[in-house]
Chain A
């Protein structure tokens, strides 16, 4: 029984981290039609930067905030000075975003070395708490809570503010959005910074569970892709639901049928693409 409880909680925690990663990925794809293949690298970069910040300021929340901000600045610069020039050039976008992913990977290897770096769990959350006779790792619960809070905040931003409505207008019909004077290019930068920040913060928040290690980037990127395809491109609710579905499928898949983990993961995605190409929530209410 404890196995199921723990795996459920692991699933939820992974789902929460995936949401932090996939929400930005999905928004960027939905608005800008860019599959930002650097997104996994932003997650890893956030984890490593967080590790370094933790040496100076031993507080995971501060590290997540500063790590997220640093990655946001980097993402914003890449968008402004490079991706912007590649509008409509899909192959160019793939090459540039993939190229940056490898450059960041090499950079991390040089700066932080090849060994996994564990990230200490924040004090107070490092011991399991007991609920109804089961032991729950407290930090995983905190990650789920953060993901939920982020989801609510993003939902309010997207659904209850003029900025959010402008972004959705851009997703609906980019050309018309421009024609009614919506500053689409500024929105691109805002969304790209926001997505990068969430990925970077997610990386360090995931640290106590996953550590920071070379290859973290390309462990996470396919998961984010699957989430977005499953949930529907540009859909926040889709990213949310998809993240937790994939969190469960991946966690239980690996625990129960380790030899079939990828089959379990990719088969549902292939089914979705074949039979519901817009995903579960694609192109309805964002």
Chain B
């Protein structure tokens, strides 16, 4: 309890891209996140892991503003975004790839990308329709197709591309490999690796442990809404006890 109190008061490091400090989130009376804190450093990939129902998606919802935390604070490059609306949070620079993709089904691929376009001062090479299509050539072939008619893998690519069109300073990805064929999972993984190389700061929620550990620099584990581990990826990789206890991986 004492340490939790301290975490909340402690100022996050200066190079923190995203700092979540002591947030509590509730659905009505159901208390889902308890004093959750973690810090994503600029240009790094942080894997947020945990069993089904651990609170990973709820964490994303709190950051993007769907479920503002009851208390605690969320800062983006030092600036608080805790009680802003989702559109304001997006405009501050959080990109969001939701679980289940949630592309705009009745819009064409092109329109999906177009409506999400945002310019951001200080971005050297901004994302454009052309550049996201270079990243996902399949989208270019399908620009005029309705997003609802795409395959699962293509919808996932579109969801990622759509988030990139906002030129996010921090990208949140909630289970981007969920329900995809192995080949597509590999492709999505490669894309995330390329984004990381380009300096994109990413919070990655994944059930696919191998994918997550391959990409991550840092790992945060949630169990029943509490942070139970937070550290470097190397501390996790060979720690079977930790993985078994909190993820059920053997």
Contacts and interface: CB of A to CB of B under 8 A. Distances in A.
A175 B106 contact: no
Contacts of B146: 285
Interface residues of A, number: 23
A55 interface: no
Interface residues of B, number: 27
B91 A285 contact: no
A237 to B, nearest CB: 12
Closest 4 CB pairs of A and B: A181-B90, A178-B86, A180-B116, A165-B111
B98 A181 contact: no
A154 interface: no
Interface string A253-286: 0000000000000000000000000000001111
A178 B87 contact: yes
Contact of B96 (A166, A179, A182, A184): A179
Interface in B106-140: 106-107, 111-112, 114-116, 118
B96 A180 contact: yes
Contacts of A184: 87
A202 to B, nearest CB: 27
A209 B92 CA distance: 52
A29 to B, nearest CB: 16
Nearest to A174: B86
B67 to A, nearest CB: 10
Contacts of A284: 106
A183 interface: yes
A57 interface: no
Nearest to B118: A181
A178 B90 contact: yes
Given A165-B107, A177-B115, A179-B89, 7 more contacts: A165-B111, A172-B106, A179-B86, A179-B90, A179-B96, A179-B98, A183-B87
Interface string B81-104: 000011101110000101000101
Interface string A160-182: 00100110110111011111111
A185 interface: yes
A172 B105 contact: yes
Nearest to A164: B111
A167 to B, nearest CB: 9
B102 to A, nearest CB: 5
Of B64, B91, B115, most buried by chain A (CB within 10 Å of CB) is B115
B105 A180 contact: no
B104 A179 contact: no
B107 A168 contact: yes
A180 B64 CA distance: 10
B169 interface: no
A168 to B, nearest CB: 6
Given A173-B102, A182-B87, A162 B115 contact: yes
Interface string B149-171: 00000000000001101100000
A181 B106 contact: no
Contact of B91 (A176, A181, A286): A181
B52 to A, nearest CB: 22
